[in-house]
């Protein structure tokens, strides 16, 4: 089984979520006896998903929208995405609320198995001067609201779903 995790990340924290998912998903599939290759790639670098059996696409959310690389991948590969199991995730909100209040365009992707929203990471040292200016205007606080436990749990859930759909090959004594 081949699984693609495609991420769009402006400052690296969404890509890091993709790496965490890859590690936990690989373990979950191996523990279920499924031989799998899980690749993490930048969404903008994915030309085709035809070679993958399942896909996870994630993007950082800015101003309530996914980044262009992830949106473009979904638009380019829509027919292929509808033909295989796909999970979506968004990252970016930080603070007490932790989750966006307005629905995302990806919430309307009825072909996806699920769309999850994870907390984001906000580190002033990684921002451009313009981004720092915006941060001052909106009075955003630094922080890391990503939950490795929540992300690992989601990966295990995806692994269980994929393992159920994978034909089992009997092991010889």
- For residue 102, pLDDT beyond 60: no
The secondary element (H helix, E strand) that includes residue 42 is strand 37-42
More confident residue, 124 or 72: 72
Supply the CATH number for residue 40's domain: 3.40.50.360
CB neighbour list of residue 26: distance below 8 Å, 6 or more residues apart: 36, 38
Average pLDDT over residues 16-40: 95
Q: Is residue 38 part of a domain?
A: yes
Closest CA to 86 of 60, 115, 39, 54: 54
Confidence class for position 144, pLDDT limits 50, 70, 90: confident
Q: Is residue 173 part of a domain?
A: no
Q: Is residue 172 part of a domain?
A: no
**pLDDT value at residue 146:** 81
Confidence class for position 147, pLDDT limits 50, 70, 90: confident
More confident residue, 169 or 13: 13
Q: Is residue 170 part of a domain?
A: no
Q: Is residue 120 part of a domain?
A: yes
Confidence class for position 138, pLDDT limits 50, 70, 90: low
Q: Is residue 30 part of a domain?
A: yes
State CA 86 to chain mean position distance.
Answer: 10
Number of domains in the chain: 1
- For residue 104, pLDDT beyond 70: no
Cβ atoms within 10 Å, residue 95: 12
Q: Which domain holds residue 125?
A: 2-165
More confident residue, 143 or 62: 62
Q: Is residue 92 part of a domain?
A: yes
For the chain, the average pLDDT equals 84
Average pLDDT over residues 167-173: 47
pTM for this one? 0.81
- For residue 164, pLDDT beyond 70: yes
pLDDT > 70 fraction of the chain, expressed in percent and rounded: 76
More confident residue, 89 or 143: 89
- For residue 118, pLDDT beyond 50: yes
């Amino acid at each position: 089984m081949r699984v693609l995790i495609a991420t769009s990340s402006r400052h690296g924290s969404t890509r890091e979520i993709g790496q965490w998912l890859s590690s936990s998903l690989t373990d979950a599939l191996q523990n279920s006896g499924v031989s799998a290759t899980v690749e993490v790639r930048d969404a903008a670098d994915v030309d085709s998903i035809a070679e993958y059996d399942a896909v996870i696409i994630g993007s950082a959310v800015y101003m309530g929208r996914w980044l262009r690389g992830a949106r473009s991948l979904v638009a380019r590969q829509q027919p292929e995405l509808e033909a295989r199991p796909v999970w979506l995730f968004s990252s970016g909100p930080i603070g007490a609320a932790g989750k966006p209040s307005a629905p995302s365009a990806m919430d309307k992707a009825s072909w996806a198995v699920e769309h999850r929203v994870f907390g984001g990471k906000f580190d002033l040292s990684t921002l451009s001067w313009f981004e720092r200016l915006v941060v001052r205007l909106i009075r955003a606080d630094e922080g890391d609201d990503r939950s490795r436990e929540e992300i690992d749990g989601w990966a295990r859930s995806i692994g269980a779903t994929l393992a159920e759909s994978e034909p089992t090959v009997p092991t010889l004594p």
